[in-house]
Amino acid sequence: MNTLRRLTAAVVAALLTATGLVALAPAASAAEEVYPAPASGSWTVDGRAYGHGRGMSQWGAQGAALQGRTASQILDFYYPGTGTGSVAGQYVKATLAAFAPSATVTVWSPENRNIRMGPINGEVVLPPGRWTVTMSGGTVTAEKRTVVNGPVVDRRTYSGVLRFESQNEYGMIVAASQSATTGRWYRGDLRIEPTSGTTFNVTNSLPMEDYLRSVVPRESPASWEPAALQAQSVAARSYAWWKVTRGQTLCDTTTCQVYYGRGVANAAGALTTSYEHSRSDAAIAATNGQVRTYGGSVAFTEFSSSNGGWTAAGSVPYQVAKADPWTGSAPGDTVTAWTATLAVSRVAQSCPGSGGTLRNLVVTGRTGNGPLGGRISQVRLECSTGNATVNTPAFGLRSSWWQPRATAPVLGSPAFSATTIDHGAQMSIGVTPNLAMSWTLTVVDRSTGRRVTQTTGSAQAGTRFNATWFGTYDGRTAADPPYVGPGTYNVTLTAVDPAGRSAAPVTTQVTVRPPADPAAPAAVPLVGDGGYVPVTPARITDTRTTFQSLGPGRRADVAVLGRGGVPASGVTAVVLNVTAVGSTVASHLRVWPAGSAMPNASVLNTAPGRTQASQVAVGVGGDGKVSVYNATGTTHYVVDVLGYYTTDLVGSARYTPVDPARALDSRTGGALAAGSTRAVDVASVLGVPAASLGAVTVNVTTTRASGAGYVVAYGAGALPTASTVNLVPGADIANRAVVPVVDGKITLGVQGSSVHVLVDVVGWYGKPGAAEGSLFTPVQPSRVLDTRGGAPVGPAAEVRVQVTGGAVPPDATAVSGTVTAVNLTAPWTHVRVWPDGEPRTGTSDLNATRGYTQANAVTTRTGVGGGVRLYNDQGTAHLILDVAGYFR
């Protein structure tokens, strides 16, 4: 089957242009469809119909005929309200587009017949020949040759219309030049009709039924069903006669009806290709003279290749909009629904002025009939030169019934101004969006996964923009630092188009260099012999919330006085739980009184992927602060206050160290479930009346954790925001804590995952003002043991270390500090610390795992000669002991 050609009436686009300065386009209404000009330069469009859709759908007629409908039924459906009439013996005239206008043509007769030529009604019969016609000065000149490119044997001149026909209207052949060896054979006559002094049109006048013999097979394939061909014959006859009765000349293109003439003939006048067909001839003969009428006159029976499944309303009553059940049902129909490419440049030709760039194609109106919302009735073009309105736009497509496919949003050509910036500096991501989009720039602290900041904005299609992070963070107060601390941050740019579709994100990692350390406060003398006051654990610093991670080799000062239940004065030392979170490399933290020299002693060791905590008792330094130092990499840290030491001995308690006593081992029963609490009786295990207990120092060990989470030891009541031990699945983790005692008990709270917990009591504090026990004196932290200078401690081996002398006086009854295990060779081990000269304790002070440097706070009585002993259980390990204070 040949490709079906469409029929379309002339569509005149009404173009309304805005002049003057370019204004911003108005916001699209809810009914408008906005299609930004894609960066690719074209849209993929889905479309329906081929042609204007008024009157009969040719493919619909074929579909109806295949379903058994007659020609009359088909015509009744497509031209409702029309009736059947007839015409007879009528002639039509068509202008031949290939020769309109022309400066020269050559005509000859078919089958070497004699030729009648001359002015209308003044023709003479002449022998066969090839007549080449030219025009000059208003005079038509005809020169005769007997063969192609032969000599001129006759010359005649005319004024006005020159008519050619081979007797009995058998037809004539016309070609563009006298050297042509083939031409188009048209039935009836050919007429040379001057249009100016130098050019003319060629027209063809012939009987209506002969005219249809070429039109019908050109409009509807001759292989189609007879009913479809008959309906086409009546529609074409009616359309032509409607034109004739209004004094209009037909054309031979899709603007009117496709008309090719009888066929192609050679120089001898023999037919070589026929444009007529016996099946079409039969349909024409079966409907001989039939036309469609309305109100006593011939109807305007427009038709098109396919109406897309819905007829379009027109200018006459019988052109109505309604669903068409037949169009789209015939096999081989490729024009009812189609896909095409629409170039932005083609649409931009309708922009006002010259050289306009199309920004948006906005569909402002549709008929609402059929899929895709129906045919487009109007669009607005938003261009760099202004806006333009186009009615029933096709832009070279098969019809005005189309819809661009949604163009996937893309953030094109991403570039980063920097991936490493100084503290307080900024960086930008630059992109070019292919569509108008709303964008969001999100910054996340890579070490913790917390969102730092989020910025939003909008961008125009094709206009490059920068999304900038200024190194700041959301939620900060006037008292908070204005810029994030050092570390690596994930910076991600996302965008969404007006349809809600997301572009692929653009992301990068930005490293912020550490700032210089703050000026150190003035040192103050440490004050000794303080009594202890426990507080409900309170968080006084969490650098994750203000993104103030510590960089490598950097120091921060943390105010402790007047915070978390600690008075603003009269405080000699504080007991803190310091936690490292989001460490980028293995490192260690040191904590000491602010203003004094940084010690060589550490309080905890960090590792990537592990949250590690350790208790520390530290003297209060200058400006009521303590200092925190990170050795390498970056890390966040959390500081929880557990209590403080004061010179107010009436309102504080003294400390009594004891041999470690196990108060809880959940392994003998069930694990503590996530979200649960467990009361632990410490008075009974100590053998001390509950009324005499103010607080206890305990070693809390977690084992067999089912996942991440933490355990917090506290007195009673609501769960505090602080933590004691952070859970690590597959590892035993211990931490020392000083916990208030309520009615002889402490409480354990478990969050995140189930875990087994061991609680060992290593000392206790009495009630405020009681005379029993020792007072605490902080010292500048110092390292008293580091076996890395020699051999490691072997399995089940002990090492003695002298702790008195120097900062710790001989009369000290106990010391407080940190024990650390380094370079383990066994998968795991534990370390015990006890007074020299006494039996080894049965409980551990530190649990460590191979591959990690593990530290824990320790408070132990001094032994013989002021010494203590350390025991390593498995493999070999280097052991370190740092002292931060003593009791006496």
pLDDT tens digits, one per residue of 418-441:
999 999 999 999 998 877 899 999
Which of 620, 648, 676 is the C-terminal boundary of a domain?
A: 648
Query: For residue range 711-725, what is the model confidence (pLDDT) as tens digits?
Result: 999 999 999 988 999
By mean pLDDT, which of 31-45, 295-309, 561-575 is the weakest? 31-45
Which of 733, 765, 797 is the C-terminal boundary of a domain?
A: 765
Query: For residue range 34-53, what is the model confidence (pLDDT) as tens digits?
Result: 888 888 899 999 999 999 99
Q: Say if residue 616 is in the same domain as residue 567.
A: yes
- Tell me which amino acid residue 132 is: T
3 vs 855: which has the higher pLDDT: 855
Q: C-alpha angle 695/699/700, rounded to 5°? A: 105
Give the count of domains, the chain. Answer: 5
Q: Say if residue 91 is in the same domain as residue 190.
A: yes
Q: Which two tokens stand for residue 553?
A: 């080799």
Of 249, 215, 253, 248, the C-alpha closest to 232 is: 215
Query: For residue range 660-683, what is the model confidence (pLDDT) as tens digits?
Result: 999 999 999 999 999 999 999 999
Cα separation, 172 vs 164, in Å, equals: 7
271 three-state secondary structure = strand
By mean pLDDT, which of 16-20, 76-80, 395-399, 445-449 is the weakest? 16-20
Tell me, what CATH number does 663's domain have? Answer: 2.60.120
793 three-state secondary structure = strand
CA–centroid distance for 557 within its chain: 43
Q: Where are the beta strands (DSSP E) in 215-274?
A: 250-251, 263-266, 271-274
Rounded mean pLDDT of the chain?
Answer: 93
Are 668 and 743 in contact, with CB atoms under 8 Å apart?
no
Q: 217 CB contacts (<8 Å, ≥6 apart)? A: 275, 276, 277, 279, 280
The DSSP call for residue 774 is B
Query: For residue range 85-136, what is the model confidence (pLDDT) as tens digits?
Result: 999 999 999 999 989 899 999 999 999 999 999 999 999 999 999 999 999 9
Cα separation, 744 vs 236, in Å, equals: 108
With 70 as the cut, is the pLDDT of residue 2 above it?
Answer: no
Task: Residue 10: count other Cβ atoms within 10 Å of its Cβ.
Answer: 9
The reply to whether 272 falls in a domain is yes
Q: What is the pLDDT of residue 19?
A: 25
Q: Say if residue 235 is in the same domain as residue 284.
A: yes
Q: What is the pLDDT of residue 753?
A: 96
Query: Phi, psi (5° rounding) for residue 52?
Result: -80, -25
HSE-up of residue 473 (Cα within 13 Å, Cβ side): 25
- Give the Å distances, CA to CA, from 11 to 244, 254, 256, 302, 399: 21, 12, 12, 13, 10
Cα separation, 612 vs 609, in Å, equals: 10
CA–centroid distance for 460 within its chain: 16
Cα separation, 665 vs 262, in Å, equals: 108
Q: DSSP string of 722-767?
A: --SEE--TTS-EEEEEEEE-BTTEEEEEEESS-BEEEEEEEEEE--
Query: For residue range 351-394, what is the model confidence (pLDDT) as tens digits?
Result: 999 989 999 999 999 999 999 999 999 999 999 999 999 999 99
With 70 as the cut, is the pLDDT of residue 20 above it?
Answer: no
Are 623 and 557 in contact, with CB atoms under 8 Å apart?
yes
Query: For residue range 744-795, what is the model confidence (pLDDT) as tens digits?
Result: 999 999 999 999 999 999 999 999 999 999 999 999 999 999 999 999 999 9
Cα separation, 778 vs 765, in Å, equals: 17
Q: Say if residue 183 is in the same domain as residue 73.
A: yes
Confidence at 24, pLDDT banded by 50, 70, 90: very low
Are 146 and 108 in contact, with CB atoms under 8 Å apart?
no
Q: Say if residue 837 is in the same domain as residue 709.
A: no
- Tell me which amino acid residue 346 is: R
Query: For residue range 528-539, what is the model confidence (pLDDT) as tens digits?
Result: 999 999 999 999
Q: Say if residue 507 is in the same domain as residue 545.
A: no
% of the chain residues with pLDDT over 90? 90
Are 441 and 455 in contact, with CB atoms under 8 Å apart?
yes
The reply to whether 353 falls in a domain is no
Q: Say if residue 485 is in the same domain as residue 633.
A: no
The reply to whether 588 falls in a domain is yes
Q: Say if residue 86 is in the same domain as residue 230.
A: yes
Q: C-alpha angle 580/586/589, rounded to 5°? A: 45
Q: C-alpha angle 229/230/231, rounded to 5°? A: 90
- Tell me which amino acid residue 807 is: A
Q: What is the pLDDT of residue 272?
A: 98
Are 613 and 725 in contact, with CB atoms under 8 Å apart?
yes
Tell me, what CATH number does 433's domain have? Answer: 2.60.40.2550
Task: Give kind and range of the element (H or E) at residue 16.
Answer: strand 15-17
Are 106 and 132 in contact, with CB atoms under 8 Å apart?
yes
Are 123 and 172 in contact, with CB atoms under 8 Å apart?
no
Cα separation, 60 vs 579, in Å, equals: 79
The reply to whether 337 falls in a domain is no
Q: What is the pLDDT of residue 462?
A: 75
Q: What is the pLDDT of residue 8?
A: 31
Q: Say if residue 749 is in the same domain as residue 819.
A: no
Confidence at 13, pLDDT banded by 50, 70, 90: very low
Burial class of 30 by CB neighbour count within 10 A (0 to 12, 13 to 18, 19+): exposed
With 80 as the cut, is the pLDDT of residue 402 above it?
Answer: yes
Q: Say if residue 523 is in the same domain as residue 434.
A: no
- Give the Å distances, CA to CA, from 142 to 112, 122, 147, 204, 764: 18, 15, 15, 18, 131
Confidence at 409, pLDDT banded by 50, 70, 90: confident
Cα separation, 592 vs 870, in Å, equals: 24
Domain, as residue range, for 760: 655-765
The reply to whether 310 falls in a domain is no
Are 200 and 194 in contact, with CB atoms under 8 Å apart?
yes
Which of 274, 289, 304 is the C-terminal boundary of a domain?
A: 304
The reply to whether 503 falls in a domain is yes
Query: Alpha-carbon torsion 831, 835, 836, 840, what sign?
Result: negative
Cα separation, 617 vs 884, in Å, equals: 7
Mean pLDDT of the 394-423 span: 93
The reply to whether 346 falls in a domain is no
- Tell me which amino acid residue 265 is: A
Cα separation, 416 vs 439, in Å, equals: 16
364 three-state secondary structure = strand
% of the chain residues with pLDDT over 70? 97
Confidence at 31, pLDDT banded by 50, 70, 90: low
Q: Say if residue 817 is in the same domain as residue 882.
A: yes
Task: Give kind and range of the element (H or E) at residue 219.
Answer: helix 208-219
CA–centroid distance for 611 within its chain: 34
Dihedral (Cα; 753, 758, 763, 769), 10-degree rounding: 40
With 50 as the cut, is the pLDDT of residue 877 above it?
Answer: yes
Of 834, 710, 869, 667, the C-alpha closest to 762 is: 834
Q: What is the pLDDT of residue 17?
A: 28
The reply to whether 528 falls in a domain is yes
Radius of gyration of the chain (CA): 49
Mean pLDDT of the 802-820 span: 95
Cα separation, 875 vs 826, in Å, equals: 5
Cα separation, 402 vs 35, in Å, equals: 13
Confidence at 28, pLDDT banded by 50, 70, 90: very low
Are 514 and 552 in contact, with CB atoms under 8 Å apart?
yes
Cα separation, 615 vs 7, in Å, equals: 89
Are 879 and 799 in contact, with CB atoms under 8 Å apart?
yes
59 three-state secondary structure = helix
Q: Say if residue 796 is in the same domain as residue 747.
A: no
Cα separation, 554 vs 566, in Å, equals: 26
List, in sequence order, every residue forming a beta bridge with 204; answer none if it has no partner.
Answer: 94, 190
The label of the residue with tokens 């496919």 reads 405
Strand bridging mode 487-496 / 297-298? unpaired
